[in-house]
Homo-oligomer: A and B are copies of this chain.
């Protein structure tokens, strides 16, 4: 049995409407912040939170845009995302505020926090790690990699796992080698799983199977990344 409630959390310049899905437990539990794709918090992230709660982790499907805002077209999604891509300092503030609110929850063990993100949310997961946040692990699923510019570079505490579709047209191999260099230069504990033939959004069954469009579900990559991710949570959060 899991319990769920929506919370309003001041995050940077907005008020985040995020969903907490809590496992049944007698003691504070480890928690995973879930950072959405560009469209904003959606049933996909809420379901992922539920899956994690069933494994014993609090799953928090985070709203990063404020007031639960969601795009309903690619143009709207792009516009919502671009605001934060253009202001990575504000993105960092929202992420840190959310993390602190999650850690302050009496049902959650603030020493055992992790983060996972999808697509744009993958970049957000990396950004929370890049901010030196007190998280134990950060996972990017088919995320974007470009680092923030002009922000400080504290010690990265999280173990970073990057699940990447090798044929993702938005993230060419040169981005992989750049990210590897960035994370190694910063002495982060990191690893990458690169999946042959997989493209963007490979964990999303609703992305269809037309890889030529650059966005498609990939059953192998979905299964392998999930398997490793749950092992990562066991390693770092239990």
Chain A interface residues (CB < 8 Å from chain B): 160, 166-167, 173, 176-177, 180, 183-184, 188-197, 220-221, 224, 227-228, 231
Q: Specify which chain B residues have a CB less than 8 angstroms from the CB of A194 in the assembled complex.
A: 180, 191-192, 194
Within 8 Å by CB of A188, from B193, B196, B224, lies B196
With A and B bound together, what is the CA distance between A195 and B189 in angstroms? 9
Copies of this chain in the oligomer: 2
Q: A227-B231, A228-B228, A231-B227 known; A166 and B180 CB under 8 Å?
A: yes
A167 close to B191 (CB less than 8 A): no
Residues of B within 8 A of A193 (CB): 191-193
CB distance from A68 to the nearest CB of B (A): 36
* B residues in contact with A160, CB < 8 Å: 196
Cα–Cα distance between A196 and B194 once the two chains are bound (Å): 13
A176 and B188 CA atoms in complex are apart in Å by 21
Q: In the complex, what's the smallest C-beta–C-beta distance from A139 to chain B, in angstroms?
A: 13
